[in-house]
Structure 1
Amino acid sequence: MKLSKRILSGQVVELIPLDPSHIGQLIEAVNDGEHWRLWYANVPRPEQMAQYVKNAMEDMALGNIAYAVYCKKNNQIVGTTRFYNVDSANRRAMLGYTWYSASACRSAINSETKLLMLQFLFEEHKAIAVEFRTHFFNRASRAAIERLGAKQDGILRNHQILADGSIRDTVIYSIIASEWPAVKNNLKVRIASKQSDS
């Protein structure tokens, strides 16, 4: 399951493999909401963005793919997301490092981003499972993952020491291949509902 590096395009967003030309718009996006101030979130500060993109691009050499999330309606990049810890032998990948500008939240953007990524994994690359991880205290992230239809597998306690010295308990969720058709239908309904609201 070697992931092909290409643009994933939907009605609302395009997921464009990350490169240095995206840094300026990502800084604008992260300044909208200042989500790096949330102690439990893994969101880069504006001055860290160039290094964040550089690290993500270096990680692509390992078979992972990071994307800039481009909103077609606003003609701007509103965040980033990625496939990481891609396990080709077991046809599994993790989906994360996702953050958006505040103005992009609670729109169809995240739902379609996840639809495109999950469709890419399950239908094009025949993945058997996709995993999501988040901080125990990141209630917004946990709720968003659960709305996708992912099921909680468990909690890794004392999993990571964060930059501020606090210790993270990591909640693990997954979607398996047999669940994908129902998850796909759920996402399509959510996208249609959010588009009708806008």
Structure 2
Amino acid sequence: MLLTDAVLLANAHVRLEPLAERHTPGIAAAARGLEHAWFTSVPDPDAAAADVAQRLAWRDEGHMNPWAIVRDGDVVGGEVVGETTFCNVDQANRHVEIGHTWLTPAAQRTAVNTAAKLLLLAHAFEQCDAIAVEFRTHWHNRASRAAIERLGAKRDGVLRNHRIGPDGILRDTVVYSILPGEWPAVRRGLEARLARG
């Protein structure tokens, strides 16, 4: 299976639905209250349609595979609580980044992120035969860094002055990765966290 194949991924906690225009109202609602998050990329609620269109354009170009994160994976028509993607897809080298991820405040510090990451990592390693899955985050996004480290990803380094943000501020990017040999232990850790509730 290709890293860019649009597939539905689901477990008892979340459903990752291939992103579509029909998710726009849910994404707009989920993004409310996140306008202050200057260190991460969350769509303005009024620009949700443009955000969806951009992610779909990147999908069509072959370097992103976007999903809407829907709470209650076993319930049809559940609540959209965020977005996530396979991005910077390098199919030839079976390398991918999980990124452009955000969650509405009510879904943060719940099982949603852990369950979504379990689905994405299992898909990357077990169906797509990835040789590395990468995570990148802003140096100042301490919550994201802590969440990535709790997954079991190892820090590869910091790309200093990596990007210029929309506000003109330079961003240092922290890079993490998980390799196939590390995946069984990472999987076990994620499953244990979900079992604890």
TM-score (norm. length: structure 1): 0.94
Alignment partners' CA distance in 1, 2:162 and 2:114: 28
DSSP 3-state at the match of 1:14: strand
Aligned to 1:38: 37
Q: Please list every run of 5 or more consecutive structure 2 residues that lacks an aligned counterpart in the other structure.
A: none
Superposed CA deviations along residues 88-133 of structure 1, whole A, max 9, x for unmatched, are: 1111100011111111111111001000000000001110100000
Aligned to 1:184, which of 177, 182, 187?
187
Counterpart in the other structure of 1:152 = 155
The corresponding residue for 1:13 is 14
Alpha-carbon RMSD: 1.2
Specify the code of the residue in structure 2 equivalent to 1:53: V
Structure 2 Cα separation of the partners of residues 155 and 36 of structure 1? 26
68-77 or 118-127: which moved more?
68-77
What percent of counterpart residues are identical? Answer: 45
Q: Verify: 1:26 aligned to 2:64, yes or no.
A: no
What is the one-letter code of the residue matched to 1:155? V
Deviations 1:144-165 (A, max 9, x none): 1000000100000011000111
Task: Find the counterpart in structure 2 of residue 123 from structure 1.
Answer: 126
1:50 shift after superposition: 0.8
Deviation, 1:58, is 0.7
Q: Which secondary structure does the structure 1 equivalent of 2:6 belong to?
A: coil
Where does structure 1 differ by over 3 angstroms across 4 or more consecutive aligned residues? none
Q: SS at the partner of 1:80?
A: strand
- Contact 1:13-1:71 at 8 Å conserved across structures: yes
Q: Is the 8 A contact 1:36 1:42 kept in 2?
A: no
Is 2:56 aligned against 1:57? yes
> How many Å apart are 1:62 and its aligned residue?
2.9
Give TM-score, length-normalised by structure 2: 0.94
Partner of 2:70: 70
- Secondary structure of the 1:36 match is coil
- How many angstroms apart in 1 are the aligned matches of 2:142 and 2:177? 17
Which of 97, 102, 111 is 1:99 aligned to?
102
Query: In the alignment, residue 68 of structure 1 is paired with which amino acid?
Result: A
For residue 35 of structure 2, give the secondary structure of its aligned residue in structure 1.
Answer: helix
Structure 1 alignment gaps of length 5 or more: none
Opposite residue 135 of structure 1, the aligned amino acid is H
Distance 1:47 1:27 in 2: 7
Residue 148 of structure 1 aligns with an amino acid whose one-letter code is L
Query: CA–CA distance in 1 between the matches of 2:166 and 2:144?
Result: 19
**Residue 27 of structure 1, CA deviation:** 1.1
Displacement of 1:2: 2.2
Equivalent position amino acid for 2:79 in 1: Q
- Pair 1:89 & 2:115 matched: no
Q: Return the offset for 1:184.
A: 0.2
Separation of aligned partners in 2, 1:177 and 1:30: 33
SS in 2 for 1:146: helix
Q: Report which stretch shifted further, 1-10 or 178-187.
A: 1-10
